């Protein structure tokens, strides 16, 4: 079953900044989908449209097989949402806050108490249930936000940068919690720019840049985008003898290497698993009598694959732009003054503070959850959570 499907999704602010550019995205039931891209790529804008908090300029997004609009509070009630760095009411406690969220969702008091007790235990906040929220650490606040997003046991969870601002221990705990939430036919979408988090928890990945999805597919497919299996190492001793023996590491000669002083970067072009090549290198170290100072096994292969895909997309950007310009010229009627068509297919740059449609100056009369026109709030992603509550989205914002 397809849980989310976006087709030609486009969002243009003030007819000048393209936040989403004819974007296509598909997320199937049971996936843990990592939406990965640099800051300002359009991740938060996708979520706002997906939640019905903004209208797209063009295109459509379907959630649970139905078009999401500001009027579809019934669809939003099936979604749990955690914004970036959730801003929760400082003077409330985790217990009182979850009671408040349950009341917004129309849950009866007995059901709320059973649910919040279970969730506080699940996110390891039972002992902190009576503390003021302003006394909690950033990681604890994030976990409380996750608990709030789970109050109505949603079918779809959307987490926007869930590990942002967390220390390594907090990141690890949050990722483990997300991993535990996966399964049982629940679908999770995570927006992040931290590739290590994606590799640890996601089943599928979509790479977004300049408002476009440039790659999506299983994590295994992403790994196949890696240029080659590469090891870097440093040795001392009879380095020349070691270098002369390197071609023997692959029986078919499918190997390349470069040397800078005592350091080597060895790329294996074959299909054998990386541990096999590591063992061959270690055996060669023993045979040649050199001393191994360090060995890097290429733990950042997902990052390399991600960067490679971005490089490939940038390399084709000029070709796409040129082709589009030519097509527009051919489509112009005789005697035209050269004006271009209304449809824009290449994103234009914008200052950093305008990225993702977050800044107030970029939000042009978007919608609240009831479908009314409203002016934007200043202050970032956290300002949409209260709107979400009114429309049934399980949120983590200040009431």
Q: What is the pLDDT of residue 275?
A: 80
| Residues 206 and 238 occupy one common structural domain | no
pLDDT tens for each residue of 104-157: 999 999 999 999 999 999 999 999 999 999 999 999 999 999 999 999 999 999
To the question of pTM greater than 0.75 for the whole model, the response is no
pLDDT tens for each residue of 213-252: 988 899 877 766 554 567 888 999 999 999 999 998 888 7
| Residues 207 and 249 occupy one common structural domain | no
Inform me whether the pLDDT recorded for 8 exceeds 80.
Answer: yes
In a domain, 363, yes or no: no
Range of the domain at 181: 2-211+379-390
| Residues 30 and 108 occupy one common structural domain | yes
> What is the domain count for the chain?
2
Q: Catalogue the E-assigned strands of the chain.
A: 2-13, 17-28, 32-36, 58-63, 66-67, 79-82, 156-160, 187-192, 204-209, 212-218, 229-236, 255-260, 263-268, 291-296, 366-367, 373-374
Domain CATH for 254: 3.30.70.100
| Residues 146 and 42 occupy one common structural domain | yes
Q: What is the pLDDT of residue 3?
A: 96
Please state, in angstroms and rounded to a whole number, the distance separating the CA atoms of residues 233 and 237.
Answer: 14
| CA 161 to each of CA 69, 253, 338, 362: distance values in angstroms, whole numbers, following the listed order | 24, 44, 43, 21
| Residues 157 and 190 occupy one common structural domain | yes
| Residues 383 and 312 occupy one common structural domain | no
| Residues 85 and 152 occupy one common structural domain | yes
| Residues 197 and 237 occupy one common structural domain | no
Q: What is the pLDDT of residue 385?
A: 35
Domain CATH for 29: 3.40.50.300
Inform me whether the pLDDT recorded for 202 exceeds 60.
Answer: yes
| Residues 386 and 239 occupy one common structural domain | no
pLDDT tens for each residue of 33-90: 999 888 888 999 999 999 999 999 999 999 999 999 999 999 999 999 999 989 999 9
pLDDT tens for each residue of 262-320: 889 888 877 777 788 889 999 999 999 999 998 877 555 555 566 666 666 665 555 44
In a domain, 132, yes or no: yes
| Residues 262 and 148 occupy one common structural domain | no
| Residues 200 and 232 occupy one common structural domain | no
In a domain, 362, yes or no: no
| Residues 77 and 199 occupy one common structural domain | yes
């Amino acid at each position: 079953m397809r849980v989310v499907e976006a087709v030609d999704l486009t969002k243009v602010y003030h007819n000048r900044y393209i936040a989403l550019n004819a974007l296509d995205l598909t997320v199937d039931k049971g996936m843990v989908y990592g939406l990965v891209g640099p800051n300002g790529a359009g991740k938060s804008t996708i979520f706002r449209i997906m939640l019905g908090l903004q209208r797209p300029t063009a295109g459509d997004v379907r959630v649970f097989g139905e078009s999401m609009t500001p009027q579809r509070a019934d669809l939003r009630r099936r979604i749990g949402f955690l914004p970036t760095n959730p801003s929760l009411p400082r003077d409330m406690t985790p217990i009182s806050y979850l009671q408040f969220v349950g009341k917004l969702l129309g849950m009866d008091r007995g059901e709320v108490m059973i649910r919040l007790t279970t969730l506080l235990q699940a996110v390891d906040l039972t002992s902190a249930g009576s503390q003021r929220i302003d006394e909690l650490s950033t990681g604890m606040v994030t976990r409380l936000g996750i608990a709030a997003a789970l109050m109505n046991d949603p079918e779809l969870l959307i987490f926007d940068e869930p590990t942002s601002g967390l220390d390594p221990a907090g990141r690890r705990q949050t990722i483990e919690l997300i991993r535990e939430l996966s399964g049982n036919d629940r679908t999770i979408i995570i927006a992040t720019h931290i590739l290590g988090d994606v590799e640890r928890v996601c089943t599928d990945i979509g790479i977004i840049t300049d408002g476009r999805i440039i790659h999506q597919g299983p994590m295994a497919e992403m790994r196949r985008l890696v240029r080659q299996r590469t090891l870097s190492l440093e040795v001392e001793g009879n380095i020349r003898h070691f270098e002369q023996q390197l071609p023997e590491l692959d029986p078919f000669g499918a190997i390349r290497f470069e040397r800078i002083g005592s350091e080597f970067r060895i790329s294996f072009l074959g299909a054998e698993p990386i541990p096999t090549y590591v063992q061959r290198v270690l055996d060669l170290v023993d045979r040649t009598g050199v001393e191994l100072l360090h060995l890097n096994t290429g733990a950042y292969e997902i990052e390399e694959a991600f960067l490679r895909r971005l490089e490939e997309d940038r390399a084709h950007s000029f070709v796409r732009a040129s082709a589009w310009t030519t097509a527009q010229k051919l489509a112009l009627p005789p005697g035209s003054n050269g004006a271009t068509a209304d449809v824009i297919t290449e994103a234009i740059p914008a200052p950093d503070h305008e990225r993702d449609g977050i800044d107030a100056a970029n939000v042009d009369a978007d919608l609240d959850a009831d479908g009314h026109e409203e002016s934007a709030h200043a202050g970032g992603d956290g300002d949409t959570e209260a709107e979400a509550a009114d429309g049934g989205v399980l949120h983590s914002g200040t009431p």
